[in-house]
Amino acid sequence: MAPRTRRGSFPRVVIERDTESEKSSSSEEEEDPEPEVQEEEESEELAEVENGENVEEGLGSKKKERVPITIALTKVCKVCKRKGHEAGFKGATYIDCPMKPCFLCKMPGHTTMTCPHKVATEHGVIPAPNRNTRSSLDYVFRRQLQPDIPAIKTAFIVPNQVDCAVIRYHSRRVTCLEFHPTNNNILLSGDKKGQLGVWDYNKVHEKTVYGNIHHCILNNMRFKPTNDETIYAASSDGTISCTDLETGISSSLMNLNPNGWEGPSTWRMLYGMDINSEKGLVLVADNFGFLYLVDTRSNNQTGEAILIHKKGSKVVGLHCNPLQPELLLSCGNDHFARIWDMRRLEAGSSLHNLPHGRVVNAAYFSPQSGCKILTTSQDNRIRVWDSIFGNLNSPSREIVHSHDFNRHLTPFRAEWDPKDPAESLVVVGRYISENYNGAALHPIDFIDISTGQLVAEVMDPNITTISPVNKLHPRDDVLASGSSRSLFIWRPRDKSEPVQQKNEKKIVLCASEKKTRRKFGGVDSDNDSDDDTFSSKGKNFKSKKLGSKPTPKSLRTKR
């Protein structure tokens, strides 16, 4: 950023921003509100309040007479550049800039620390606007719509302990995960580079990476319903692949960029994908708002591309209703999730449009009844619609939860627990870190979406990275996480443990172990400057089995 000019009374004070170094000298002082700045403090402060428009001119005209005063900015906030406070980590606790809206709920007037949604055991639920009709009649009504909803919820079994992990299985950040539909120990993973990993996590050292299928982001994959050794994948390279998991032999169903690179305005990328087995279709959607249908028997596109989201916007998610093959759910960067009737697919013909505050990362029907809808939006809210047959004008619940967009991260997606008969357990990684005994960790949250309660937060002191990609096993009590370039398998700490009641289920993993002492929680980096190869540092492509008491050196235990 350009140096910031501040118009004081007489001498213009220029703060060279490149001296960002100061922020880190946090160790020296704590509460001292007096920075050792020069004399012109108050004038500076004044100017600061209303300036901002004179930055340019100051830059241009005062180039030479500007005396860059490199203030010893021990107290200048790196976020807003004002003094008197300082954003950043203090130990393992992040202090927000008070000038910014709350990092969690995005509302002004408070910081994350004091956010009303940051209660110890829950992130908070915002009842949707139309939710004031919360009469008992309403419940009766909804009960009629969903007669199969169990009256008493079964207790959740939450995987909470790292069972095994593979470090740098991928050479880029993990972008998607999929459990094998029939083989219990097989996990598939895709990464930013387009590689497809096949991992038998009971044999940690057996793993396969197919690197030639795609050459950029593998956005979504699905098993072929009629052959569970075959996987479809949609990639930002504009192709759909169909790969045999045994041989790695892959064919391409579709290539939206047959002429190769002709510039960013024409390069089409495939994001959302799902399979409609009833109709024998692979559905994919691109970054320009279009949906494509591919017949899985002929491997040919059927019909024309259909504009299903705002023209030019990315359609990141597609989901076919598990029970009603005519229903399709899509979501994308136009801030909408949309419900479609497959029999009447044309631009503008959506049955419902579900508005969101920001980009919608994911939208899913509930896995068993297909009656509920769960969305993850970049406005830090998980939204739930309890019945697709009910009032869809506003969500039944909005659950505030930190899963912001970050350039280094795969977008977070809240995922259903496919095993939960009540369809109320959801897993989602958390962006903001919390101080757990001195370590800044990013838990993976289990949320009861019927109440908004945080049922469990899963973490390990050795895992300091953010885990935006999570998937619960369709049959076992197993959680798979993709975090940075690593994959983790979590299982319950002790299977013989009596199942706890739902409200006592707060789990803090290894809270007493504090080996990890890092300022930052970590991120799933995709820094292109680091090497792609699996051999670049010797530690790449190594797998590690973690015992029940994990003290793995491999898990980048820092100090």
Partner DNA sequence: AAAACATGTTTCC
Partner DNA sequence: TGGAAACCCTGTTT
Report how far apart, in Å, the C-alpha atoms of 132 and of each of 137, 151, 307, 394 are: 12, 23, 35, 11
Nearer to DNA, 299 or 435 (CB): 435
Tokens of 533: 């190869």
Site string for DNA, 473-492 (x = CB under 7 A): -----------x--------
Per CB under 7 A, 96 contacts DNA = yes
| One residue of 37, 103, 240, 305 binding DNA per CB under 7 A | 103
- Nearest 10 degrees: Cα torsion 461, 465, 468, 471: -50
520: contact with DNA by CB under 7 A = yes
Is residue 486 within 8 A of residue 552, CB to CB? The reply is no
Q: Which of 174, 218, 282, 523 binds DNA (CB under 7 A)?
A: 523
Q: Contact between 36 and DNA (CB under 7 A)?
A: no
Burial class of 437 by CB neighbour count within 10 A (0 to 12, 13 to 18, 19+): middle
Least Cβ distance, residue 304 to DNA (angstroms): 23
Residue 131 or 517 with smaller CB distance to DNA = 517
Residues 19 and 10: their CA atoms lie apart, in Å, by: 23
| Among 246, 341, 528, 532, contact with DNA (rule: CB under 7 A) | 528
CB atoms within 10 A of CB 441: 28
Please give the torsion angle defined by the CA atoms of residues 415, 420, 425 and 428, in that order, rounded to the nearest 10 degrees.
-30
One character per residue 285-324, x = contact with DNA (rule: CB under 7 A): -----------------------------x----------
- Burial class of residue 467 in the structure, from the number of CB atoms within 10 Å of its CB (0-12 exposed, 13-18 middle, 19+ buried): buried
> Pattern of binders to DNA over 192-231, x per CB under 7 A?
-------------------------x--------------
Which range in 12-20, 204-212, 345-353, 389-397 contacts DNA by CB under 7 A? 12-20
* Residue 333 burial (CB count, 10 A): 20
Tokens of 265: 């305005």
Strands (E), 192-269: 196-200, 207-210, 218-224, 227-235, 239-244, 250-255
Give the nearer residue to DNA in terms of CB position, either 52 or 303: 52
Q: Does 524 help bind DNA (rule: CB under 7 A)?
A: yes
Phi, psi of 283 (to 5 degrees): -105, 130
The interface region with DNA, picked from 133-141, 255-263, 337-345, 404-412 by CB under 7 A, is 404-412
Whether the Cβ atoms of residue 556 and residue 479 lie closer than 8 Å to each other: no
Site for DNA in 60-89 (CB under 7 A): 79, 87-88
Q: Where do contacts with DNA occur on this chain (CB under 7 A)?
A: 1-2, 18-22, 24-25, 79, 87-88, 94, 96, 100, 103, 112, 217, 236, 314, 333, 335, 358-359, 378, 404-408, 431-433, 440, 442, 464-466, 484, 519-531
